[in-house]
């Protein structure tokens, strides 16, 4: 299967929105409030440009990074008791096999109907990056959302500050167009900021529980079945908040906000809470 183009209409919409927000923030909001070439204006322009640059870089990396494909050579080792080749959330313990790809799936891998392949630690397929969010690009996707929230909130502060600071334009001929830009910016950024904050909060919750979006929905059903049987369901990959954070964002707190993912491993095996229980019982 050949590589498909990463450019799509939703991606183009995101690029245009980023360009619009950046240009209006720098050349209208900051310029009107402080004066672009004043010391406060330059400082805010530099800081906002830095946030926007990291946001754009993370977005590009999320688009072009392969989320992680199951290697053609992957075969579950049924003789190795330490290899979680079975579907942990199911009591039956059947081997995970994808009928569409005609190959075995490692833990947390799922088949994407859009990409038409199995993706390692698949979270979801995102139309806004025209790519799956999976093992290899989940952190950089999260960092993109984080900096997008910061940029939107920062831009809104500058927008409202420039409105409060004084009249929009002294020239009569420019007054209507300037007011239109402020209205369009408010209509665009307020719902966008709310949506991005909800998305960021959702993924912070998932990271703290070491879940993917797919695993969350699977866990709801598994919890219902466990309660029906008089048992308690516990997510097998939940190692505790700090361990969950480090497994996704990296072992060093200094690099948590950086769009790098050198710590994630192959994506074919993940530590579980049962590993800790087994280690405790043998010690």
What is the pLDDT, as a whole number, of residue 93?
44
| Coil vs helix vs strand at 212 | coil
DSSP string, 89-158: TSSS--B-EETTTTEE--TT-EEETTTTEEETT--EEETTTTEEE-TTTHHHHHHHHHHHHHHHHHHHHH
Nearest to 129 by CA among 261, 212, 15: 15
In angstroms, the CA 42 to CA 25 distance is 12
- Cβ contacts of 134 within 8 Å, gap of 6 or more: 67, 68, 119, 120, 121, 122, 123, 267
Q: Kindly state the helix (H) or strand (E) to which residue 103 belongs, with its residue range.
A: strand 103-104
**CA 83 from centre of chain:** 28
What is the pLDDT, as a whole number, of residue 92?
40
Q: What are the average pLDDT values for consecutive 10-residue runs of the chain, which has 283 residues?
A: 73 97 96 93 97 97 94 75 47 69 90 94 96 96 98 96 73 62 93 97 97 90 70 85 93 89 85 68 51
- List phi, psi (to 5°) of 271: -65, 145
Catalytically annotated residues: 126
């Amino acid at each position: 299967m050949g590589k498909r183009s990463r450019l799509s209409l939703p991606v183009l919409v995101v690029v245009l929105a980023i360009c619009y927000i950046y240009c209006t923030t720098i050349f209208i909001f900051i310029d009107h409030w402080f004066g672009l070439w004043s010391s406060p204006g330059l400082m805010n322009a530099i800081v906002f440009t830095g946030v926007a640059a990291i946001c754009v870089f993370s977005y590009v990396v999320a688009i072009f990074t392969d989320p992680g494909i199951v290697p053609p050579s992957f075969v579950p080792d049924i003789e190795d008791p330490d290899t979680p080749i079975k579907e942990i959330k199911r009591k039956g313990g059947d081997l995970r096999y994808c009928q569409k790809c005609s190959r075995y799936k490692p833990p947390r891998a799922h088949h994407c109907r859009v990409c038409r392949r199995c993706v390692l630690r698949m979270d979801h397929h995102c139309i806004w990056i025209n790519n799956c969010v999976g093992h290899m690009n989940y952190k950089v996707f999260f960092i993109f959302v984080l900096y997008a929230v910061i940029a939107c909130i920062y831009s809104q502060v500058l927008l409202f500050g420039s409105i409060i600071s004084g009249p929009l334009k002294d020239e009569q001929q420019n007054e209507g167009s300037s007011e239109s830009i402020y209205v369009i910016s408010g209509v665009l950024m307020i719902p966008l900021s709310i949506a991005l904050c909800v998305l960021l909060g959702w993924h912070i919750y998932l990271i703290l529980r070491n879940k993917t979006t797919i695993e969350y929905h699977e866990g709801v059903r598994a919890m219902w079945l466990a309660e029906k049987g008089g048992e308690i369901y516990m997510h097998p990959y939940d190692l505790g908040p700090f361990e969950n954070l480090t497994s996704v964002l990296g072992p060093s707190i200094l690099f948590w906000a950086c769009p790098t993912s050198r710590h994630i491993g192959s994506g074919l095996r993940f530590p579980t809470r049962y590993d800790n229980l087994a280690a405790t019982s043998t010690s």
